[in-house]
């Protein structure tokens, strides 16, 4: 399995641990990632200029099409915008013409064909829960996780086709495969607040706060996300606010959680890089380390 890796602008300098842990997990599961210099997905400029946003996305899609590769992105906003651009290009011939006029100048062309996939959809649909299950070496035990879906992957469902928009189960299933438990919380499908960060901060923080309260009331130990912006919001933005509470409920990136249960190295998971301390996550599987190792050595002898 081979994909063009679309990291997004922020990941390398603001959330390196998401990139390294995603790469490590995918590598372990036999997915090959191709790297290219790509441009912004067009999500940030969508607030201001739709054509610029669609061109940004289309240029990446055209590059992928030239390479005959599908796109895999760990960021839900990148995912959402690339999908959204495809839907606009698909349904409107005039838009398509206009965008292709821009692309032609660079020897590129957009046409239907390139698939855009989010990290979670690749794990769930392309690799499958069963394949993942066989790689779990240190199942997480006794940890309660509140999976946060992220708006732009889930909606508009007609465009993104990620999962059932009203009652999705994909993320819960992926979390449970690691051995962790999931809690059911009413705000799981709501916005993390980041789209309004640096645009209307008090509102953005309020949205996050509400979610955190809700997850904590549901009994979660951790929030789990699979989006660059959501994690920046739940971790870095939250930590930058002195009056913020709920530090007992850190946010963990899904590939960090999965990687831990797969027994991947510390230095690729980089759990210590999360600003709000999530180190105690390892406690939920450390007790298991020994047992697993013993089992494995027994199995080795038998085999």
Partner 1 sequence: MVYNITLYLSLSICVFGLMYRIFRWFSLSIGPDVEGESAAGRMRTACKTMLRFFFSRRILNFLKIFFVDSLFQTRLFQTSKARWLFHILLFHAFVLLVFMHAMDDQITRVLFSEYESTLNPFMFLRNLFGILVLLGVVFFILRRIRQKPFQKATNRTDLAAILILSSILLSGFLLEAVQIFSSPIFDEMVLEYMRTDDPEETAPLESYWAKEYGVVFPKAVDIGQPERISAGQMIHEENCASCHSRPESAFVSYPLSIHMRSFARALNSIRADIWLHYFHFIICFIGLAYLPFSKFFHMISIPLNLMIRNGESRPEEDDPNNAVKRSIGMDACTHCGVCSLHCSVMPIYRVTGNPNVLPSEKLLSVKKIASGKPPDKTGWTAVSDGNFACTDCFRCTKVCPSGIHLHDLWQASKKELERRDHGKSDQLIRKRSASQWEGLFEKYDIPGSPDPDDLLLRNMAPETFSACVQCTVCSNVCPVVSLPVSLSSPEITPQQVMNLLRLDMKELAMGSRMVWDCMTCYMCQEHCPQGIRVADILYELRNMGADRLQKVRLMESVSSEKKADSDSASERNKK
Taking the complex as a whole, how short is the minimal distance between the CB of residue 102 and partner 1, in angstroms? 6
Residue from 2, 16, 68, 199 that binds partner 1 (CB under 8 A)? 199
CB under 8 A: which stretch of 93-101, 212-220, 261-269, 294-302 binds partner 1? 93-101
Residue from 29, 31, 54, 71 that binds partner 1 (CB under 8 A)? 54
**What SS3 state is found at 224?**
strand
Binding mask 140-169 for partner 1 (x = CB under 8 A): -----------xx-xxxx-------xx---
By the rule CB under 8 A, 283 interacts with partner 1: no
Report the b/e string of 153-174 with b at 16+ CB within 10 A. bbbeeebbebbebeebebbbbb
Residue 183: closest CA among 123, 136, 224, 230: 224
Instruction: Find the distance separating the first CA and the last CA of the chain, reported in whole Å.
Output: 29
By the rule CB under 8 A, 195 interacts with partner 1: yes
By the rule CB under 8 A, 243 interacts with partner 1: no
Residue 301: how many other CB atoms lie within 10 Å: 7
Binding mask 94-123 for partner 1 (x = CB under 8 A): xx--x---x--x------------------
In the chain, the DSSP E strands lie at: 2-5, 32-34, 70-73, 116-118, 144-147, 181-182, 222-225, 251-253
CB under 8 A: which stretch of 17-25, 201-209, 242-250, 261-269 binds partner 1? 201-209
CA-to-CA distance for 162 and 253, rounded, in angstroms?
A: 19
Query: Can you say whether residue 198 is alpha, beta or left, with left for phi > 0 and alpha for psi between -120 and 50 degrees?
Result: left
Residues that bind partner 1 (CB under 8 A): 9-10, 12-14, 37, 39-40, 42, 44-52, 54-56, 59, 88, 92, 94-95, 98, 102, 105, 151-152, 154-157, 165-166, 190-191, 193, 195-196, 198-200, 202-203, 206-207
């Amino acid at each position: 399995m081979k994909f063009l890796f679309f990291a997004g602008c922020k990941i390398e300098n603001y959330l390196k641990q998401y990139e390294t842990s995603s790469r490590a997990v995918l590598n372990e599961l036999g997915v090959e990632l191709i790297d290219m210099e790509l441009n912004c997905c067009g999500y940030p400029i969508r607030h201001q200029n739709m054509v610029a946003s669609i061109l940004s996305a289309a240029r990446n899609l055209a590059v992928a099409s030239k390479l005959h590769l599908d796109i895999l992105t760990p960021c839900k906003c990148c995912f959402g915008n690339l999908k959204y651009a495809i839907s606009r290009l698909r349904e409107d011939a005039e838009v398509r013409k206009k965008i292709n006029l821009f692309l032609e100048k660079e020897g590129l062309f957009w046409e239907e064909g390139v698939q855009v996939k989010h990290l979670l959809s690749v794990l769930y649909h392309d690799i499958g829960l069963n394949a993942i299950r066989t790689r779990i070496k240190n199942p997480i035990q006794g940890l309660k996780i509140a999976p946060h879906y992220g708006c732009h992957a889930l909606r508009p469902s007609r465009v993104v086709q990620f999962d059932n928009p009203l009652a999705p189960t994909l993320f819960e299933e992926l979390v449970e495969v690691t051995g962790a438990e999931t809690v059911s919380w009413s705000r799981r499908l709501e916005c993390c607040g980041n789209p309004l960060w640096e645009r209307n901060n008090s509102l953005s923080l309020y949205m996050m706060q509400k979610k955190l309260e809700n997850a904590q009331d549901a009994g979660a130990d951790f929030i789990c996300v699979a989006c660059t912006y959501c994690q920046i919001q739940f971790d870095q933005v939250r930590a930058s606010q002195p009056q913020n509470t709920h530090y007992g409920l850190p946010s963990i990136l899904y590939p960090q959680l999965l990687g831990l249960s797969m027994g991947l190295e510390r230095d690729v998971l980089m759990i210590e890089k999360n600003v709000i301390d999530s180190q105690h996550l390892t406690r939920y599987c450390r007790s298991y380390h020994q047992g697993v190792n013993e089992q494995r050595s027994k199995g080795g002898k038998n085999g």
